[in-house]
Structure 1
Amino acid sequence: MKKRTYIITFLLGVVISLLVVFVQLPYYVTMPGAAQALEPLVHVENGDRDKGRLMLTTVRMGRANIAAYLLAHIRPYYELYPLKAIKQEGETDEEYTLRQLQLMEESKEAAIVVAYQHAHKPVTYQPRGVYVMSIVPGMPADHVLQVGDRIVRIDGKPVSTSKQLIEYVRQKKKGDRVTITWKRDGKEQTATLALAPFPQASKQVGLGLSPMTDYDVVTQPPVQIDSEKIGGPSAGLMFSLEIYNQLVEEDITKGHKIAGTGTISMSGEVGPIGGISQKVVAADEAGADIFFAPNEKGAKNSNYREAVKTAKKIGTKMKIVPVDTFADALRYLQTLQ
């Protein structure tokens, strides 16, 4: 009888353990990631080697199981988010990953342009089409276009930027039909779609897709960025600083370990990101001396203000520096001893 009780208890424990590990809940859990050196990822031809280190910071994220859900309630800087806060409506895991990788590509293009322009090196960038970033369920593009498709023509007219596409469609009204030509896996496809009002903006009609301009960037000297499987646009600022540092003779790090985060635009503006507290923790654990945080023009709830609060909580000696532009970060680095 006692042996039978032990067996039942053991089997019950195995079942509970499997449930805790393998049952997925309708949440994502995020936690501090790593601060990764950029020099091995960025390769400017004959670029300078420097003594300091510029680092991008990441947030680890995954679908929450029961164990992760419980940890998020007791571990500092572990955060839970419902699925709809991370993925867009109707978006698959594959589409989400692809969207994040495309955002990274856009970020790298902007980082290259900004760095080369500030270093006064030759750079040109020409738009060559529009990527589909996401699709609104139930809208005309749904089940016709896919995330990652590249739109090249609308009504037979070439489309090279997302602005062109948006402005063309904006002139139309409900029920008007447009013919879209796109490339998928190297093959052109065409479909005629009737425009429809957006679910939450009935006065605005469209195809129901989010577009992103694809640029062809040419530089001298050449540059390559190996972003591996890192997704999202938040490493833009740090990529631009690393590229710049390899282009110029001076070492802008002055031997310091410098981490940070923030999106970058073609004009050099730094934008806010998610998970700023977790990235501060990651940078501190990597021994960073300085951390750049998006200032958002001094907004009350800016990334910078949150980063300062987190730095105080964890007792780091790391200096938190607010930046609104690439030029702000560069000016600060030029004042370092």
Structure 2
Amino acid sequence: MQIKQMNSRQVLWIIIVSLFFLTSAFVMSFDTGYLITLPSYAYLGENMVRVADYPAKEAELYILTYWQEKATPLYYIYGKINPKLDLVKSKTVTPKGLNAVEYSEISSNMLVNSQIKAMYVALTSAGFEAEISSEGVLVEAVVENGSSFELLEKGDLIVTANGSNIRYQEQLREVTKKQGVGGRLTMEILRGGEELTITVPVGKNSRGEPSLGIFTHNKNIGIISPVKIDFNERELRGGPSAGLIYTLEIYNRLMDEVVTKGRVIAGTGQINLDGSIGEIEGMKQKVYVAEKQGADILFCPKGNYEEAISVATDVKVVAVSHFSEVIAYLAEVN
């Protein structure tokens, strides 16, 4: 049997096709070491919260989200030329050694913590009594290039820092901020049932703020509430930034009057137990989401204000550092 030999044109075609598929595989799979941040969706607050005996009112309150994933070479180039996108080094965001399931669990814990804090702040701001509890601050992961790397470990329970008892994340954050970048924290921790004392230097995060480079949550945080409040968690992947709108949505239902007065309001920010509002990631992308949704007002943490107004064109950006400022602003404009 004779085998027909391929001519030079056929060989060239096979080579071209092979190179195309190899290049495509490279472009789609190669890890550049960066994450790309993109605008995502706005979620209506009334669909995310259920408050027993206090039905939703006619209020448009939107939770803003962004999307982040590995930047392939193609995405990397896209991120460089599209002003709506941002590129950040993976190692500054995701702790080394964590798989997708573990990182998702961390993000989910952040979301649960923010929901309980939102309940507490909304209830107490509306004149209800509520009690909060926590067994301490649990280390979930340590960022590879953070100041705590190889000092703190996953599973460590932080008991004290520089002599102050630590039960909540806010307390640890305050002590860290007080020391400042370059300062040091002497901590008492529980590791595998053993009490240890360690000293950790204070580093800085991607925004230049004092940071220990750790992911934490309040261990077994709970609340005793006079009102039954539930959350729809199916739409949100995790993170703490929905806290501000969670709080405002619950507060709006508990009050006699509608505090929004027909305005379309978007917002983002971590809510802390004392009502203070912490900074978040993806501010630029969230501005685009708010404007696409047609928001009249966008509440954001003061630390994110400059980034927000640098890209905002059709929405009024209002910087706030405490939930009481949100209520005061709405009362004034109404």
TM-score bracket for the superposition, by shorter chain length: 0.7 to 0.9
Alignment RMSD: 3.2
Say if 2:328 is the partner of 1:331. yes
Q: Percent identity?
A: 28
In structure 2, do the counterparts of structure 1 residues 117 and 54 end up closer, same or farther at CA, with 3 Å as the change threshold?
same
List alignment gaps of at least 5 residues for structure 1. Answer: 168-177, 182-188, 202-207, 296-301
Give the structure 1 partner of residue 180 of structure 2.
Answer: none
Measure how far apart 1:285 and its partner are.
0.9
1:180 to 190, 202, 223: 190
- In structure 1, give the amino acid aligned to 2:306: R
Give the structure 2 partner of residue 32 of structure 1.
Answer: 39
In structure 2, do the counterparts of structure 1 residues 289 and 26 end up closer, same or farther at CA, with 3 Å as the change threshold?
same
- Distance in 1 of aligned mates of 2:325 and 2:47: 25
Residue aligned with 2:71, SS: strand
Deviations 1:131-158 (A, max 9, x none): 223344433x54xxx3xx484999xxxx
Deviations 1:297-337 (A, max 9, x none): xxxxx42232122113xxx2x22122121111112222345
Structure in which a larger fraction of residues adopt strand: 1
Give the structure 1 partner of residue 4 of structure 2.
Answer: none
- In structure 1, give the amino acid aligned to 2:88: Y
Measure how far apart 1:290 and its partner are.
1.2
- Distance in 2 of aligned mates of 1:252 and 1:273: 24
- Give TM-score, length-normalised by structure 2: 0.77
- Distance in 1 of aligned mates of 2:199 and 2:133: 32
2:91 to 84, 90, 94: 84
* Structure 1, 247-256 or 53-62: larger mean CA deviation: 247-256
1:114 to 87, 105, 121: 121
Measure how far apart 1:31 and its partner are.
1.3
- Distance in 2 of aligned mates of 1:72 and 1:210: 27
List alignment gaps of at least 5 residues for structure 2. Answer: 1-7, 143-147, 176-187, 204-212
2:218 to 213, 217, 230: 213
In structure 2, do the counterparts of structure 1 residues 2 and 76 end up closer, same or farther at CA, with 3 Å as the change threshold?
same
Say if 2:299 is the partner of 1:292. yes
- In structure 2, give the amino acid aligned to 1:222: K
* Structure 1, 276-285 or 92-101: larger mean CA deviation: 92-101
Give the structure 2 partner of residue 233 of structure 1.
Answer: 240
Measure how far apart 1:128 and its partner are.
3.3
Measure how far apart 1:101 and its partner are.
2.4
Tell me, yes or no, if the aligned pair for 2:106 and 2:215 is still in contact at 8 Å: no
- Where do 1:133-212 residues align within 5 Å? 133-135=140-142, 136-139=148-151, 142=153, 146=154, 149=155, 151=157, 161=167, 180=190, 190-191=193-194, 195-198=197-200, 212=217
- Give TM-score, length-normalised by structure 1: 0.76
In structure 2, do the counterparts of structure 1 residues 161 and 247 end up closer, same or farther at CA, with 3 Å as the change threshold?
same
Q: How many residues align?
A: 295
Measure how far apart 1:7 and its partner are.
2.2
- Where do 1:234-273 residues align within 5 Å? 234-273=241-280
Measure how far apart 1:196 and its partner are.
4.7
Give the structure 1 partner of residue 282 of structure 2.
Answer: 275
